Structure 1
Amino acid sequence: MTIQWFPGHMAKARREVSEKIKYVDIVFELIDARLPLSSRNPMMDQIVQQKPRLILLNKGDLADKEQNQKWQHYFQEKGYHTLIINAQQNKGINKIVPEAKKALKEKLDRERSKGVKPRAIRAMCIGIPNVGKSTLMNRLVGKKIAQTGNKPGVTKGQQWLRSGTDLELLDTPGILWPRFEDQEIGKKLALTGAIKDQLLHLDDLAIYGLSFFSRFYPQRLVERYNLTEADTLLPAAELLMLISQKRGYRDDYDRASEMIIQEIRSSKLGPYTLDRWEELGALKDEN
């Protein structure tokens, strides 16, 4: 399974972000808690440069809680302010502004000492497709998205979204890197739904998912598909055939594959983290 996907609008979005980064105080980097490294854009450091950054591990409830804590600690050790949130369920959203203020403490203190009148923090939210960027922005600004107008020095027509009195968000599209240099990353993104299914062979993806769950969460396969522990030791392709038979799909492996993928995505096999903290060295090589 070879995945190469970089629509033209993604390239445009990357250019827009690079051009507008100078207008914000801080960047909210939104990543999928199930893919703490694979859902990050490898050009992010180059694009964001020295801007303060708040890393938001979104969809935290869909990820392995133990892995969440380890990844949060990992990013904090690298000097990033980090929160675990779930934008869909409105969990942790109220912590974002206070954490952003912590990240900007030196800047805010410096402005205060110069007598600069306090103003709302200006932020840009960046994330790859399907990571929850739109949901997060809607949570932050509420149902009525108000345009706060053009700020001094900002290009004409640039839209700012107000979140209370303390935060203004620059409305920019998400971005995705131009290619998957490691196919493993592509498979992980595909399994979580970040890539259109039309670009994939569903049986390959289902086999990948089964192989992962057999390795890290075998008991969940046993319970969900009425398997034995010995069954989970089968090669993933054989396991796919077995599950297909047990679910009454007979030799319709495409249908079985689609079912397995959807059940993984909808958390019917429970929370999971594809980027394993304990395999950090290998993951760094992938990225």
Structure 2
Amino acid sequence: MAIQWFPGHMNAARKKAAETMEMTDLVVEVLDARLPAASSNPMVEELRLHRQRPCLKIMNKDDLADPKVTKEWLDYFNRQSGVDAVALSCKNPAEVARIPQLCQKLVPHRTGPGKPVRVMIMGIPNVGKSTLMNMLLKRRVAAVGDEPAVTKSQQRLYLNKNMVLTDTPGMLWPKIVYPSDGYMLAASHAVGVNALIEEEVAAFLGDVLLARYPELLALRYKIPVDGLDGIGLTEMIARKRGFKIRGGELDVEKGAHTLLQDYRHGAIGRISLETPESRREMIRSYAEAGDE
């Protein structure tokens, strides 16, 4: 199935973001460090480039991502014009404390009395924007939840006399072009549960992890992984954990849910679902197949 999720409030949020962008100096885009390109909303890029605004890309959940791959993505983003990128965990106060200085560096002309740096914080649902806002302001100003799309309206808050922050609702985009992006977003809990089938998402995730991190799977679940595919992995997890439904059959749904939850919370290990190279290859393969 192709995964698409664009509730009505996201369309309203996009229109409001376009209006606010005119009065913004720079965009802070929060990404998931495990899938930096798949979690980058093309509407954010479109809006900021239309107004010629620089961007600080924050690869959040750095503590859950593969450090080697994260370095590749930082090199990739930092080669782009008008972009600075940093990898961190928005739950780490010391790392978050660096962000105002990084923002100021991108707009050196915004200094002095009456010229606070106007920062717009954007990103997909459940990527950590609210946690970032709360950490920056050192108080709870944004609701934080384990379900996507907790924030549904903008709010504007002064960090200090030199910087004002606008927090925006998490937004996906009307049509996710590449099916694998939809699955990566669903696996990372950026998509509402009503838009996906967990067993299909877990099967996709299992295939990726078996190809990239088989040793971590074997260690986590104490199972042989040679010859398995994603569906076989969820069945093996269910068998190993003793998940059964009435009649004694394997509860594969629970096995799929376990795999997804373990990935989301970092229980399997530090994992990245895409690299700059795998991204290029994926786009090339879709283009050759005429699916783009």
Equivalent positions of 1:71-86 (< 5 A) are 71-79=73-81, 80-86=83-89
Residue identity matched to 2:281: A
Moved more, 276-285 or 51-60: 276-285
Aligned runs of 1:111-190 on 2, under 5 Å? 117=113, 119-143=115-139, 145=141, 159-190=155-186
Match in the other structure for 1:67: 69
Runs of 4+ with deviation above 4 angstroms: 283-287
Q: Is the 8 A contact 2:5 2:174 kept in 1?
A: yes
- The aligned residue for residue 263 of structure 2 is 264
Q: Which amino acid aligns with 1:7?
A: P
Q: Who is 2:145 aligned against? A: none
**Partner AA of 2:211 in structure 1:** R
User: How much does 1:164 deviate?
Assistant: 2.8
Mark the CA change 1:171 to 1:197 in structure 2 (over 3 Å): closer, same or farther: closer
Secondary structure of the 2:185 match is helix
| Residue 19 in structure 1 maps to residue 19 in structure 2 | yes
Q: Distance in 1 between matches of 2:184 and 2:173?
A: 15
Question: Taking structure 1 as reference, are residues 125 and 172 closer, same or farther at Cα in structure 2, changes over 3 Å only?
Answer: same
Structure 1 counterpart of 2:275: 276
User: Is structure 2 residue 237 aligned with structure 1 residue 247?
Assistant: no
Secondary structure of residue in 2 paired with 1:47: helix
3-state DSSP of counterpart to 2:253 = helix
User: Equivalent residue for 1:51?
Assistant: 53
Counterpart of 1:23 in 2: which secondary structure? coil
1:196-250: CA deviation from partner (whole Å, max 9, x where unpaired): 223222111121121111111111111111123xx33322222322222111124
Distance in 2 (alpha carbons) for counterparts of 1:191 and 1:179: 18
TM-score scaled by length of structure 2: 0.85
Question: Unmatched 5+ residue regions in structure 2?
Answer: 143-153, 245-249, 287-291
Give the Cα–Cα distance (whole angstroms) in 2 for the partners of residues 284 and 54 of structure 1: 24
Gaps of 5+ in 1: 147-157
TM-score where L is the length of structure 1: 0.86
Which residue in the other structure is 2:106 paired with? 103
Match of 1:225 in 2: 221
Aligned residues: 267
Q: Which residue of the other structure, out of 207, 229, 235, is the alignment partner of 2:229? A: 235
Question: What is the rounded CA distance, in whole Å, between the counterparts of 2:196 and 2:263 in structure 1?
Answer: 16
Name the larger-Rg structure.
Answer: 1
C-alpha separation in 2, matches of 1:199 and 1:128: 15
Contact 2:27 2:48 in 1 (8 A): yes
